[in-house]
Structure 1
């Protein structure tokens, strides 16, 4: 039979993986939501790039030690040297934090996994040693008082930085009569800014193992400015000629690999019929249109009679009479119907679930048991592939005839749309900032995800309570990093469909401003050892850039208010959940064997 330590270890491992999964579905997904919303990358590209940089950052330069007592919220003496109590404490903290974050993710309410875990540890501390032993004050920036302050300060400061950077872009590029040349020739300067900020992010937030943040000031300045100016020079030699040929000359025959030609592209002649630059369409539409049937495309374009117009108006009026719930379900069904038309495993799974609904009665009815046997494989396949094929942009638009649709229409109507040629220039910068954010998150925040599990594992294998700092084996970091990336791939769409265009209108120039504004804020807070959530910073920067449209109507404050409420609720809810679980288990009757 398994002893009680092993039982706690198994349960703690489950909740540790669940917490890491939620971390990926929340924090990592939120880091890439801006790039996906701006159409700089697709959801699949974001998953690939996010996975690569998260894992590389975690394994290559990630922290090799983790705080056993998260942020010093409770003293190490709370465990009285008892490994069982220590394992139980972290298991209960993980259970409370992961349960709350999972519920929030399911309902598309973004919360910080790190803040949830800190709050859960505080709740466990109250249940274990009493409220007097918990650090409620500032505690050198590590107490709960500092956490409360960060909830208010970080998003506001990020909003200011994001707005400042975007206004710089507006003045230099967007407000010009012919903005395309300005976007091309000013690109090295913006690469310099992004390169410098991204390098500082790695130095101060993503290099625990390398110890770059402990180097002298002159060394840090040399590395940072050297990288920034190096990227600036590289973009001037290769990127500017490529953009000049593609955007100014409108050379539609240009291939991406031709960027290696560098200055030679200035003398490359464009085709005589080059009239429009071949760049992606970054426009975000409010409503997704129905796909035309072959019959409609064959006959509808010839002549649309008054009868057809009246029939369409009648259908439109009938749709508006549907209830809010029915309209939302109708929009979701349109998305699912497109997935059912796909070939491959996902299409098969979606068709199987659609064609085999559960019948009347309980699951133990023979007919329902037969149906369930057909549905279970399809549920597993759909669960693994649904997020990869989810249409983030369709989900970020409003549903016509609903309050949400009205809010989104107002937001989109009050946002200035800039030419695709100028936006295309900033899409490359945005990819750099997003990749750096993933690298820094994997290098630094992996300790938040793996720390509790490392403590539980060490206490289980040694039978002794761990010290204030515990070593983390590389294999544990790798396992947690993989689980974290699975959360991004399988469940991250729940956050991405809300973050981004559900708050304000996105575009590459706006997106890179948001990401750089958030990065600067994280750096500022890191210098004063203040706990901060990158996700909260990117949300604040999103609002700040949205306000640069010149009107409050360009920001969906209803959605922002819900996010702020979820942030504030995290501390009491996660803390109470973990504390109650700890109190019940710790004080339950024990029976001798």
Structure 2
């Protein structure tokens, strides 16, 4: 059938909000997935964005959108639309509009919410407004109704906490509790490469990926491929990674470079340097944790001077008392505003596009009057390229590590100091070994994320596209095209790169003390949980899983004081409030659109 020309605008609007929803997903859920690695200092924010983009794309194109069918067909029964493709398009467009708007507002205010449950609630809301509450699948519905989905709201964080705590306790017993933990951390590392490789491979071949034609393979093939890839990665780690880490950590060879890893077993014969132990060969992972003063990223950036202060390579965080003016302490907002001004001043000194853009915005302020004044419109045109440049590059240059601490002299700063003090610290040499493992587990978590979350926006967008192209509401049963998955993943990556810092700066170390050995346990626990739910086509929040795993690992310190339950409580509150707010917004929007006056 021909394209419904009268619904072209609905398709255009629906596409915009689908892309906005997945952009927010990248800025929210993907950023949260990588916040653990960045918080642990296992990887820089820039490399996190590169690897995140690669593995999100890989997961989307290989595993596909397994949860898309649940979003587009199982919450509102397809026959409820009675074959009306136009109403179906409007319903999913309104759901995307409400969900993406709510998540965008929350991300702007650094409030971490679940984009998964936001969209699910929005679909339920438009279902009530369109076909009535009786038609919405509130029950279990074969494991794919709202009852099953919302059961994951409590189940997923708890399961992830269990997996994360189990993995970390295994590391703690096998490595951290030894009298000499360094050799144990080195020689047990391949085991964790085995786990990460097996999980990734299993997610692709188990129950088959239609995109790769694996859905008809026998169980023996699945087991052989899964264990073969995981075992192969384990063997490679034993042959190349272990000798490299042994030379760098155990022999304290500061002259070894990253490319020496390809020498493999030859490194066993590499003699220890004469100055072994005189030069540090591993980073100090306690910087930014064991401090009396915790401040904002902008404060640290403004106080740092070529690494001698702040989170530099040579110095600890400098202390600075809370400012007192006219006998009164400044408020947290005042301190943050002043720190942001200093941080922006430092950015203006940078070379390159960002420095130019920041200087342009600073040196060309708007004149008197409103924006529509002629002289202000001319200034706006001059500032436009700088706005674009800052939007693209500001997040890349943000100091995520510093931003995850509180402001000195405030209750938050004191609370975080207590949380960090309650966590046991382990040798940097041991943590350095797990920093490599954590990069692999982070990639696994990113792969797992897209296998679940990409279906959230892909489902409604595919339903809108199918109805628009064929004029048939039943087209929503068709699988999601690969090109749509590619477009969504690219948009998701843009969200991570340009706006992910806004969520990263309030996650990670805001909940508990992070280190590479803890971080890889958190990410593996979350990844296993997400993949488990994905296999049953149940949408689940990646954010909730990583938060649950973080709390589980934090409790392994043996005290409740090691977890910032104030931050956890705020997160849980935001998750719960997302359900009625997103559902109500979507339902009201759909009701207004359906009952708006029309002519013809």
Q: Same fold (TM over 0.5)?
A: yes
Q: 1:202 to 1:539 in 2, by over 3 A?
A: farther
Q: 1:290 to 1:64 in 2, by over 3 A?
A: closer
Post-superposition CA distance 1:296-348 (Å, at most 9, x none): 99xxxxxxxxxxxxxx8796788981112102212333332322221111112
State how far apart, in whole Å, the 2-side matches of 1:452 and 1:46 are: 29
State how far apart, in whole Å, the 1-side matches of 2:346 and 2:432 are: 29
The question of whether the paired residues in 2 share the 8 Å contact of 1:207 and 1:443 is answered with no
| TM-aligned CA deviation for residue 533 of structure 1 | 1.8
State how far apart, in whole Å, the 2-side matches of 1:196 and 1:149 are: 27
The question of whether the paired residues in 1 share the 8 Å contact of 2:452 and 2:531 is answered with no
Helix, strand or coil at the partner of 1:487: helix
State how far apart, in whole Å, the 1-side matches of 2:8 and 2:586 are: 20
The question of whether the paired residues in 2 share the 8 Å contact of 1:206 and 1:443 is answered with no
Q: 1:571 to 1:516 in 2, by over 3 A?
A: same
State how far apart, in whole Å, the 2-side matches of 1:112 and 1:208 are: 28
Q: 1:422 to 1:64 in 2, by over 3 A?
A: closer
State the partner residue of 2:291: none
State the partner residue of 2:117: 115
- 2:278 aligned with 1:278, yes or no? no
Cα RMSD for the two superposed structures: 2.7
Q: 1:117 to 1:225 in 2, by over 3 A?
A: same
Q: 1:165 to 1:72 in 2, by over 3 A?
A: same
Q: 1:502 to 1:203 in 2, by over 3 A?
A: farther
State how far apart, in whole Å, the 1-side matches of 2:67 and 2:430 are: 45
The question of whether the paired residues in 2 share the 8 Å contact of 1:331 and 1:399 is answered with no
Helix, strand or coil at the partner of 2:43: coil
State the partner residue of 2:314: none
Partner residue of 2:370 out of 354, 359, 362: 362
- 2:583 aligned with 1:580, yes or no? no
The question of whether the paired residues in 2 share the 8 Å contact of 1:198 and 1:519 is answered with no
Partner residue of 1:455 out of 431, 449, 463: 463
- 2:429 aligned with 1:429, yes or no? no
TM-score, with length taken from structure 2 = 0.89
Post-superposition CA distance 1:415-468 (Å, at most 9, x none): 222222111111111111111222333345333322222222222222232334
State the partner residue of 2:316: none
| TM-aligned CA deviation for residue 399 of structure 1 | 1.0
The question of whether the paired residues in 1 share the 8 Å contact of 2:301 and 2:399 is answered with no
Post-superposition CA distance 1:480-523 (Å, at most 9, x none): 22111111111111111112011111111011000111122224
Query: What is the correspondence of 1:418-567 to structure 2 with a 5 Å cutoff?
Result: 418-526=426-534, 529-567=537-575
State how far apart, in whole Å, the 2-side matches of 1:531 and 1:74 are: 15
Helix, strand or coil at the partner of 2:473: coil
State how far apart, in whole Å, the 1-side matches of 2:126 and 2:518 are: 41
State the partner residue of 1:47: 49
Query: What is the correspondence of 1:22-101 to structure 2 with a 5 Å cutoff?
Result: 22-63=24-65, 66-67=68-69, 70=72, 72-101=74-103
Q: 1:127 to 1:315 in 2, by over 3 A?
A: closer
Q: 1:314 to 1:412 in 2, by over 3 A?
A: closer
- 2:243 aligned with 1:235, yes or no? no
State how far apart, in whole Å, the 2-side matches of 1:518 and 1:447 are: 18
Q: 1:232 to 1:74 in 2, by over 3 A?
A: same
* Unaligned 5+ runs, structure 2: 289-293, 310-319
State how far apart, in whole Å, the 2-side matches of 1:319 and 1:434 are: 48
State the partner residue of 2:177: 175
State how far apart, in whole Å, the 2-side matches of 1:424 and 1:12 are: 46
The question of whether the paired residues in 2 share the 8 Å contact of 1:66 and 1:451 is answered with yes
State the partner residue of 1:301: none
- 2:196 aligned with 1:194, yes or no? yes
Q: How many pairs were matched up? A: 576
State how far apart, in whole Å, the 1-side matches of 2:590 and 2:72 are: 16
State how far apart, in whole Å, the 2-side matches of 1:320 and 1:551 are: 36
- 2:342 aligned with 1:339, yes or no? no
TM-score, with length taken from structure 1 = 0.90
The question of whether the paired residues in 1 share the 8 Å contact of 2:62 and 2:212 is answered with no
- 2:420 aligned with 1:412, yes or no? yes
State the partner residue of 2:313: none
| TM-aligned CA deviation for residue 478 of structure 1 | 1.8
- 2:358 aligned with 1:350, yes or no? yes
State how far apart, in whole Å, the 2-side matches of 1:421 and 1:140 are: 49
Query: What is the correspondence of 1:183-222 to structure 2 with a 5 Å cutoff?
Result: 183-204=185-206, 207-210=209-212, 212=214, 215-222=217-224
State how far apart, in whole Å, the 2-side matches of 1:580 and 1:79 are: 18
Deviates more, 1:262-271 or 1:517-526: 517-526
The question of whether the paired residues in 2 share the 8 Å contact of 1:137 and 1:146 is answered with yes
Helix, strand or coil at the partner of 2:478: strand
State how far apart, in whole Å, the 2-side matches of 1:131 and 1:558 are: 36
State the partner residue of 1:149: 151
Q: 1:426 to 1:563 in 2, by over 3 A?
A: same
| TM-aligned CA deviation for residue 220 of structure 1 | 3.2
